[in-house]
C-alpha cells in the first residue's frame, strides 16, 4: 500500500467526539519520546503530520488522521498520547490513561494498536504492563520496536531475543513484532502491508 494522502481530522479526549467509526482504524501508542511522531511521519511521507519532539506530556489528546481518503481503501490513523512521562503527576497520569483506556476498549472500528517500544532500552515495566492490560482486555495489538538504527545487527538480534524471552514469561506466544527506524526508513513497507492485509478483512 502507498499512502497517497494523510490529513488531520480532529483531536479530543472523548470517544463520542471521535469521527464516525466507518473506516478501519489503527492506533499508535508508546512511552513519550519512543519515536511515535517520527514513525507516523515516515509512514505517511510527511515531515510534520505528527509533531515530533513536542514537550513530552503536552500532546494529551486522541488525534485522528484520515489516510487515503479519496481512494477505495481509506482508513484512520490515531496518534495517542505518550504514556509514562515521569514529570506527569500520578493523579494526572491515571486521569490521562482513563480516556485512552476507554478509547481502546470501546472504539468499535479499532482493528489494531501498534505498541511502540524503544529498542535502546531494557524491557520497561510500564510497556510490559500496558501490553498485559491490552491482552486482558482482548484488544488486538502488535509491537513496533523503534530506533533500531541505533543497534548493530548482533545487538539487534540479542535485544529481540531478550525481549521475547521476557515476554514469554507471561505470554503463551509472542505478539507480532515489527522492527523500524524512522531515521533509516526501515519497517515502513512491512507496517503498511500489514495494515493493508488487515484492511482486507474490514
Q: Which of 182, 188, 191, 195 binds ligand GDP (CB under 6 A)?
A: 182
68 makes contact with ligand GDP (CB under 6 A): no
Q: Which of 183, 192, 198, 199 binds ligand GDP (CB under 6 A)?
A: 183
Least distance (Å) between residue 187 CB and ligand GDP: 9
Q: Which one of the spans 63-71, 93-101, 142-150, 194-202 is the region binding ligand GDP (CB under 6 A)?
A: 142-150
Instruction: Tell me the backbone φ, ψ of residue 187, rounded to 5 degrees.
Output: 95, -10
Instruction: Closer to ligand GDP by CB, 24 or 84: give it.
Output: 84
Least distance (Å) between residue 101 CB and ligand GDP: 19
Binding positions for ligand GDP, 8-67, rule CB under 6 A: 30, 32-38, 52-53
Place of cell 529498542: 119
Least distance (Å) between residue 84 CB and ligand GDP: 11
78 makes contact with ligand GDP (CB under 6 A): no
Q: Which residues bind ligand GDP (CB under 6 A)?
A: 30, 32-38, 52-53, 82, 146-147, 149-150, 181-183
Amino acid at each position: 500500500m502507498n499512502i497517497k494522502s494523510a490529513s488531520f481530522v480532529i483531536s479530543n479526549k472523548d470517544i463520542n467526539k471521535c469521527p464516525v467509526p466507518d473506516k478501519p482504524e489503527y492506533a499508535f501508542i508508546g512511552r513519550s519520546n519512543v519515536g511515535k511522531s517520527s514513525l507516523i511521519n515516515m509512514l505517511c511521507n510527511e515531515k510534520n503530520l505528527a509533531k515530533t519532539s513536542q514537550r513530552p506530556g503536552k500532546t494529551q489528546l486522541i488525534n485522528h488522521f484520515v489516510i487515503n481518503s479519496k481512494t477505495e481503501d481509506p482508513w484512520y490513523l490515531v496518534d495517542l498520547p505518550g504514556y509514562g512521562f515521569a514529570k506527569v503527576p500520578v493523579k494526572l497520569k491515571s486521569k490521562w490513561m482513563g480516556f485512552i483506556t476507554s478509547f481502546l476498549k470501546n472504539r468499535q472500528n479499532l482493528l489494531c494498536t501498534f505498541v511502540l517500544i524503544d529498542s535502546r532500552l531494557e524491557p520497561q515495566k510500564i510497556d510490559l504492563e500496558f501490553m498485559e492490560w491490552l491482552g486482558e482486555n482482548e484488544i488486538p495489538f502488535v509491537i513496533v520496536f523503534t530506533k533500531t538504527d541505533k543497534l548493530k545487527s548482533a545487538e539487534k538480534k540479542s535485544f529481540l531475543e531478550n525481549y521475547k524471552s521476557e515476554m514469554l514469561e507471561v505470554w503463551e506466544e509472542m505478539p507480532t513484532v515489527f522492527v523500524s527506524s524512522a531515521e533509516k526508513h526501515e519497517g515502513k513497507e512491512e507496517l503498511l502491508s500489514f495494515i493493508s492485509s488487515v484492511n482486507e478483512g474490514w
